[in-house]
Amino acid sequence: RIPLGIICAMPEEIAALLGDMTGIERRELAGREVLTGQLFGRPVAMIESGIGKVAAAMTATLLLDGLRCRAIVMSGVAGGIDPALAIGDLVVAQRLIQHDYGRLQAGGFTPFRPAVPPFGPGRNDYAFELPDGMLTRIHAALDGFTLPSLPTDLVGVDARAPVIKVGTIVSGDQFINDEDVRGRLQREFGAHACEMEGAAVAQVAEAFGVPAIVIRSLSDLAGSDSHLDFGKFVTAVAPTAAKVVERLVPVL
Protein backbone atom coordinates (compact mmCIF):
# COMPACT_ATOMS: atom_id res chain seq x y z
CA ARG A 1 0.00 0.00 0.00
CA ILE A 2 1.13 3.52 -0.74
CA PRO A 3 2.14 5.29 2.46
CA LEU A 4 1.15 8.67 3.82
CA GLY A 5 4.21 10.93 3.89
CA ILE A 6 4.88 12.77 7.15
CA ILE A 7 7.32 15.68 7.42
CA CYS A 8 8.43 17.44 10.59
CA ALA A 9 11.11 20.13 10.52
CA MET A 10 12.54 19.53 13.98
CA PRO A 11 13.34 16.66 16.37
CA GLU A 12 10.82 17.91 18.99
CA GLU A 13 8.07 17.60 16.36
CA ILE A 14 9.16 14.10 15.28
CA ALA A 15 9.29 13.06 18.95
CA ALA A 16 5.62 14.02 19.39
CA LEU A 17 4.64 11.36 16.80
CA LEU A 18 7.30 8.71 17.32
CA GLY A 19 5.70 7.20 20.44
CA ASP A 20 2.62 6.27 18.39
CA MET A 21 4.55 4.70 15.53
CA THR A 22 4.93 0.92 15.31
CA GLY A 23 6.95 -1.49 13.18
CA ILE A 24 9.59 1.16 12.59
CA GLU A 25 12.24 0.54 9.96
CA ARG A 26 14.98 3.07 9.35
CA ARG A 27 17.03 3.84 6.27
CA GLU A 28 18.96 6.80 4.92
CA LEU A 29 18.11 8.92 1.92
CA ALA A 30 19.89 12.14 0.91
CA GLY A 31 21.40 12.56 4.35
CA ARG A 32 18.08 12.15 6.08
CA GLU A 33 16.67 9.27 8.09
CA VAL A 34 13.48 7.81 6.64
CA LEU A 35 11.24 6.04 9.15
CA THR A 36 8.66 3.69 7.71
CA GLY A 37 6.02 1.89 9.75
CA GLN A 38 2.45 2.30 10.95
CA LEU A 39 1.05 5.47 12.51
CA PHE A 40 -2.53 5.56 13.81
CA GLY A 41 -3.29 2.41 11.83
CA ARG A 42 -1.90 3.59 8.47
CA PRO A 43 1.34 2.92 6.62
CA VAL A 44 3.53 6.02 6.74
CA ALA A 45 6.98 7.23 5.72
CA MET A 46 8.25 9.96 8.04
CA ILE A 47 11.26 12.25 7.62
CA GLU A 48 12.76 15.05 9.74
CA SER A 49 13.38 17.60 7.00
CA GLY A 50 15.33 20.26 8.82
CA ILE A 51 14.26 23.88 8.87
CA GLY A 52 13.36 26.07 5.89
CA LYS A 53 11.71 25.92 2.49
CA VAL A 54 14.55 24.24 0.58
CA ALA A 55 14.96 21.43 3.14
CA ALA A 56 11.18 20.96 3.19
CA ALA A 57 10.87 20.95 -0.61
CA MET A 58 13.60 18.37 -1.10
CA THR A 59 12.13 16.17 1.62
CA ALA A 60 8.69 16.38 0.02
CA THR A 61 10.26 15.36 -3.29
CA LEU A 62 11.92 12.33 -1.69
CA LEU A 63 8.59 11.22 -0.22
CA LEU A 64 6.60 11.77 -3.40
CA ASP A 65 9.00 10.72 -6.14
CA GLY A 66 11.15 8.13 -4.36
CA LEU A 67 8.71 6.66 -1.84
CA ARG A 68 5.48 7.19 -3.83
CA CYS A 69 3.52 8.72 -0.95
CA ARG A 70 -0.13 9.47 -1.69
CA ALA A 71 -0.34 12.69 0.38
CA ILE A 72 1.87 14.67 2.72
CA VAL A 73 1.17 15.74 6.27
CA MET A 74 3.42 18.40 7.75
CA SER A 75 3.14 18.51 11.52
CA GLY A 76 4.83 20.86 13.94
CA VAL A 77 4.80 24.32 15.48
CA ALA A 78 4.30 27.85 14.14
CA GLY A 79 4.21 31.45 15.25
CA GLY A 80 0.73 32.88 15.80
CA ILE A 81 -0.24 35.82 13.56
CA ASP A 82 -3.98 36.21 14.20
CA PRO A 83 -4.29 38.19 17.48
CA ALA A 84 -7.31 36.06 18.42
CA LEU A 85 -5.03 33.02 18.78
CA ALA A 86 -2.87 32.12 21.79
CA ILE A 87 0.17 29.95 22.40
CA GLY A 88 -1.02 26.33 22.31
CA ASP A 89 -3.80 27.00 19.75
CA LEU A 90 -3.60 25.22 16.43
CA VAL A 91 -3.96 26.09 12.75
CA VAL A 92 -4.71 23.64 9.92
CA ALA A 93 -3.80 25.22 6.58
CA GLN A 94 -6.61 25.69 4.08
CA ARG A 95 -4.36 28.16 2.22
CA LEU A 96 -0.55 28.39 2.13
CA ILE A 97 1.53 31.32 0.83
CA GLN A 98 5.29 31.92 0.58
CA HIS A 99 5.49 35.34 2.24
CA ASP A 100 9.13 35.96 1.31
CA TYR A 101 8.63 35.58 -2.46
CA GLY A 102 8.56 38.93 -4.25
CA ARG A 103 10.49 42.08 -5.04
CA LEU A 104 12.96 43.71 -2.65
CA GLN A 105 13.87 47.38 -3.20
CA ALA A 106 15.47 50.06 -1.05
CA GLY A 107 11.98 51.29 -0.16
CA GLY A 108 10.80 47.90 1.07
CA PHE A 109 9.42 44.57 0.08
CA THR A 110 6.59 44.03 -2.44
CA PRO A 111 5.17 40.54 -2.35
CA PHE A 112 4.14 38.57 -5.39
CA ARG A 113 3.96 41.03 -8.23
CA PRO A 114 6.65 39.65 -10.48
CA ALA A 115 6.59 40.24 -14.23
CA VAL A 116 6.32 36.50 -14.90
CA PRO A 117 3.92 33.92 -13.50
CA PRO A 118 5.35 32.97 -10.14
CA PHE A 119 5.53 29.22 -9.88
CA GLY A 120 5.90 27.89 -13.39
CA PRO A 121 3.97 27.94 -16.65
CA GLY A 122 0.28 28.45 -16.14
CA ARG A 123 0.47 28.99 -12.40
CA ASN A 124 -0.41 32.65 -11.95
CA ASP A 125 -1.60 32.54 -8.38
CA TYR A 126 0.79 32.47 -5.46
CA ALA A 127 -1.46 30.71 -2.95
CA PHE A 128 -1.82 26.95 -2.54
CA GLU A 129 -5.30 25.82 -1.46
CA LEU A 130 -6.54 22.50 -0.15
CA PRO A 131 -8.89 20.76 -2.61
CA ASP A 132 -12.58 21.29 -1.68
CA GLY A 133 -13.26 17.62 -0.99
CA MET A 134 -10.30 17.34 1.39
CA LEU A 135 -11.31 20.56 3.15
CA THR A 136 -14.84 19.25 3.69
CA ARG A 137 -13.52 15.99 5.16
CA ILE A 138 -11.17 17.89 7.47
CA HIS A 139 -13.97 20.15 8.74
CA ALA A 140 -16.15 17.10 9.34
CA ALA A 141 -13.38 15.30 11.24
CA LEU A 142 -12.71 18.35 13.43
CA ASP A 143 -16.37 19.08 14.12
CA GLY A 144 -16.98 18.53 17.82
CA PHE A 145 -13.34 17.59 18.45
CA THR A 146 -11.74 19.29 21.45
CA LEU A 147 -8.11 19.20 22.44
CA PRO A 148 -7.12 18.85 26.09
CA SER A 149 -6.02 22.09 27.79
CA LEU A 150 -2.29 22.50 28.10
CA PRO A 151 -0.99 22.48 31.68
CA THR A 152 -1.03 26.11 32.90
CA ASP A 153 2.35 25.70 34.59
CA LEU A 154 3.87 24.70 31.25
CA VAL A 155 2.29 27.26 28.98
CA GLY A 156 1.81 30.03 31.52
CA VAL A 157 -1.24 31.35 29.70
CA ASP A 158 -4.97 30.83 30.12
CA ALA A 159 -5.95 27.21 30.58
CA ARG A 160 -8.77 27.15 28.02
CA ALA A 161 -8.86 24.24 25.57
CA PRO A 162 -6.75 25.03 22.49
CA VAL A 163 -8.68 26.63 19.63
CA ILE A 164 -8.44 24.88 16.24
CA LYS A 165 -8.53 27.28 13.29
CA VAL A 166 -8.71 26.16 9.67
CA GLY A 167 -7.05 29.10 7.95
CA THR A 168 -4.05 30.66 6.21
CA ILE A 169 -0.45 29.76 6.99
CA VAL A 170 2.42 31.78 5.51
CA SER A 171 5.89 30.31 5.07
CA GLY A 172 9.28 31.94 4.57
CA ASP A 173 12.93 31.40 5.32
CA GLN A 174 12.70 33.76 8.27
CA PHE A 175 11.90 33.30 11.95
CA ILE A 176 9.39 36.08 12.62
CA ASN A 177 10.48 38.00 15.71
CA ASP A 178 8.94 41.44 15.27
CA GLU A 179 5.51 42.94 15.96
CA ASP A 180 5.50 45.14 12.82
CA VAL A 181 6.32 42.18 10.58
CA ARG A 182 3.63 40.13 12.35
CA GLY A 183 1.13 42.91 11.55
CA ARG A 184 2.23 43.05 7.92
CA LEU A 185 1.77 39.28 7.48
CA GLN A 186 -1.71 39.60 8.92
CA ARG A 187 -2.70 42.58 6.74
CA GLU A 188 -1.15 41.46 3.46
CA PHE A 189 -2.01 37.78 3.54
CA GLY A 190 -4.75 37.40 6.14
CA ALA A 191 -2.38 34.97 7.85
CA HIS A 192 -3.30 33.07 10.99
CA ALA A 193 0.15 31.57 11.54
CA CYS A 194 3.67 31.66 10.14
CA GLU A 195 6.32 29.00 9.80
CA MET A 196 9.19 28.10 7.51
CA GLU A 197 8.18 25.07 5.40
CA GLY A 198 4.48 24.49 4.72
CA ALA A 199 3.98 26.45 1.50
CA ALA A 200 7.12 24.89 -0.01
CA VAL A 201 5.73 21.41 0.71
CA ALA A 202 2.42 22.51 -0.82
CA GLN A 203 4.14 23.63 -4.01
CA VAL A 204 5.92 20.29 -4.42
CA ALA A 205 2.78 18.33 -3.55
CA GLU A 206 0.79 20.23 -6.16
CA ALA A 207 3.39 19.37 -8.81
CA PHE A 208 2.88 15.68 -7.97
CA GLY A 209 -0.91 16.03 -7.89
CA VAL A 210 -1.31 15.12 -4.21
CA PRO A 211 -2.60 17.13 -1.24
CA ALA A 212 -0.41 18.65 1.50
CA ILE A 213 -2.04 18.94 4.89
CA VAL A 214 -0.16 21.32 7.21
CA ILE A 215 -0.98 21.15 10.92
CA ARG A 216 0.73 23.60 13.29
CA SER A 217 0.39 24.33 17.01
CA LEU A 218 1.52 27.77 18.14
CA SER A 219 4.79 27.92 20.06
CA ASP A 220 4.93 31.75 20.08
CA LEU A 221 3.16 34.81 18.70
CA ALA A 222 5.84 36.01 16.24
CA GLY A 223 6.42 39.32 18.12
CA SER A 224 9.48 40.59 19.97
CA ASP A 225 9.40 37.73 22.52
CA SER A 226 8.90 34.97 19.96
CA HIS A 227 12.48 33.65 20.20
CA LEU A 228 12.08 33.24 23.97
CA ASP A 229 8.58 31.74 23.78
CA PHE A 230 9.62 29.34 21.02
CA GLY A 231 12.35 27.85 23.24
CA LYS A 232 10.01 27.65 26.22
CA PHE A 233 6.99 26.12 24.50
CA VAL A 234 8.09 24.08 21.47
CA THR A 235 8.21 20.79 23.39
CA ALA A 236 4.96 21.50 25.27
CA VAL A 237 2.85 22.38 22.23
CA ALA A 238 4.22 19.95 19.60
CA PRO A 239 2.04 17.07 20.94
CA THR A 240 -1.08 19.17 20.21
CA ALA A 241 -0.30 19.01 16.49
CA ALA A 242 0.26 15.26 16.83
CA LYS A 243 -3.23 14.84 18.33
CA VAL A 244 -4.77 16.59 15.34
CA VAL A 245 -2.71 14.40 12.99
CA GLU A 246 -4.24 11.39 14.76
CA ARG A 247 -7.71 12.82 14.32
CA LEU A 248 -7.23 13.59 10.61
CA VAL A 249 -5.29 10.54 9.40
CA PRO A 250 -8.46 8.45 8.87
CA VAL A 251 -9.91 11.01 6.43
CA LEU A 252 -6.76 11.71 4.40
List the catalytic residues.
Answer: 13, 220
| Least Å from the CB of residue 160 to ligand ADE | 21
Q: Looking at beta carbons only, is 37 or 223 nearer to ligand ADE?
A: 223
Q: Looking at beta carbons only, is 89 or 195 nearer to ligand ADE?
A: 195
**Using CA atoms, how far apart are residues 138 and 144, in angstroms rounded to an integer?**
12
Strand, coil or helix: 142: helix
| Least Å from the CB of residue 218 to ligand ADE | 8
**Using CA atoms, how far apart are residues 8 and 109, in angstroms rounded to an integer?**
29
Nearest to 89 by CA among 20, 167, 12: 167
Q: Looking at beta carbons only, is 208 or 233 nearer to ligand ADE?
A: 233
What is the bridge-based pairing of β-strands 164-171 and 193-195? parallel
Report the residue closest to ligand ADE, judged by CB. Answer: 79
Q: Looking at beta carbons only, is 134 or 192 nearer to ligand ADE?
A: 192
| Least Å from the CB of residue 133 to ligand ADE | 29
**Using CA atoms, how far apart are residues 110 and 133, in angstroms rounded to an integer?**
33
| Least Å from the CB of residue 223 to ligand ADE | 8
Consecutive H or E run containing 239: helix 226-248
Q: Which residues bind ligand ADE (CB under 6 A)?
A: 77-79, 175-176, 194-196, 219-220, 222, 226, 230
Strand, coil or helix: 53: helix
Measured in degrees and rounded to the nearest 5, phi and psi for residue 68 equal: 60, 40
**Using CA atoms, how far apart are residues 27 and 105, in angstroms rounded to an integer?**
45
